[in-house]
Amino acid sequence: MRQIAKDVGVQAGALYNYIPDKQTLLLDLMRDHMEQLLADVPKAVEQGTPMERLEAFVRFHIAYNYDHPDAVFIAYMELRNLEPANFELIETLRSRYERHLEAILQDGVREGAMTVGEPRVVTFTLIAMLNGVNTWFREGGRLSLAEVQDLNWSMVRRAVGVE
Amino acid sequence: MRQIAKDVGVQAGALYNYIPDKQTLLLDLMRDHMEQLLADVPKAVEQGTPMERLEAFVRFHIAYNYDHPDAVFIAYMELRNLEPANFELIETLRSRYERHLEAILQDGVREGAMTVGEPRVVTFTLIAMLNGVNTWFREGGRLSLAEVQDLNWSMVRRAVGVE
DNA sequence: GTCTATATTCTGATAGAC
DNA sequence: GTCTATCAGAATATAGAC
């Protein structure tokens, strides 16, 4: 709290005019992030065939994570510091986000465009894979963000496509 | 430190007969984990074609993570609490582990059995994907560990295979 | 090798003046 | 709404007795 106060240019006590306590601050940060993600994902993935929507999801997820590295980092690394009730709240939002991907996979299977045995588990697997980008990608390296999106989409497409 | 002391049944001060300080304890935990991983991986992936070695790596990685959930959790979540020199040390070990997978991918491409544009980046991507298992898999659920290994291998095989 | 006791620093949060 | 001052507790680590 003292570090936050220093960074925003006030004394530590002044922070409590804005937040009731530290736990609520953490919850607010994580909830704002999840709600923004949930607000943005529908329009990114609502049009086209299941395969087109899947590609849109892959590119959206990578781009969103790249644009919000701190929020994404906190959303994963600070989960263990949420009180049980707050943890449940965030997990509910995360689950709602994952359902967008799961629905795409289910549609793809139904239309015969994808081969996915377990849509729920494949959803977890793909999101874990896409989240990996933030741990190593840095702008100015050998690959551009667009190339990383291309590479991930190439792998996802093949991993769930009909053979 | 007090919690650790309580769990092992001594007073907090007695811990310092075994470790010089908390940072060293964390480093030792992470280094022991990485060195065990490095000791076990070669014999798991040294035999067969690149595709067979890749399958062996996928199954080995998932099984190892499942058998050492606490060590794996610490190895990722506590990286930020390592002092710079210790962080470098652990990252060097992690990189050495990743080279085993990267070498398999390179061999597969050379022999025409795999289509992988960027072996280094695909290595990061696949390990992130496999690491995801520990965040959601619990024994006694709908899927067995073997089924989770099968599902991951099915996705990895298709993601890097020739089309 | 473990204990008790404690030094020192840090932490989240509050009280009251302005 | 921010400040100064401070409370109460927790943290890592050390000292010295046994």
CATH fourth-level superfamily of A21-160? Tetracycline Repressor, domain 2 (1.10.357.10)
Mean pLDDT of B144-163: 96
Stated in angstroms, how far is A82 CA from C17 C1'?
36
Tell me the pLDDT tens digit for each residue of B104-124: 999 999 999 999 999 999 999
- Tell me if B130 sits within 8 A of B124, measured CB to CB: no
pLDDT tens string B53-88:
999 999 999 999 999 999 999 999 999 999 999 999
Partner residue opposite B128 with nearest CB, options A135, A148, A159: A135
B163 has pLDDT over 90? no
B65 CA: distance to closest CA in chain A (Å): 15
B17 CA vs D16 C1’ separation (Å):
15
Count of Cβ atoms closer than 10 Å to residue B131 Cβ: 20
pLDDT digits (tens, 9 = 90+) for A34-90: 999 999 999 999 999 999 999 999 999 999 999 999 999 999 999 999 999 999 999
Q: Which chain B positions have a beta carbon within 8 Å of A125's beta carbon?
A: 129, 132-133, 151-152, 155
Strand D footprint at Cβ < 7 Å?
Answer: A 9-14, 17-18; B 1-3, 12-13, 16, 20-23
Q: What Å distances lie between residue A36 and A30, A40, A104, CA to CA?
A: 10, 6, 20
Per the prediction, chain B carries an average pLDDT of 97
* pLDDT averaged over every residue in chain A: 97
* Number of CB atoms found within 10 A of residue A83's CB: 12
Domain boundaries, chain B: 21-160
A163 pLDDT above the threshold of 90? no
Q: Mean pLDDT across the stretch B11-29?
A: 97
Backbone angles phi and psi of B161, in degrees to 5? -75, 165
Work out whether the CA dihedral A125, A127, A128, A133 comes out positive or negative.
Answer: positive
Instruction: Determine the average pLDDT of the residues in A4-26.
Output: 97
Q: Which residues contact B10 (CB under 8 A, 6 or more apart)?
A: none
CB of B148 within 8 Å of a chain A CB? The answer is yes
What mean pLDDT is predicted for residues B126-148? Answer: 97
pLDDT at A150 over 90: yes
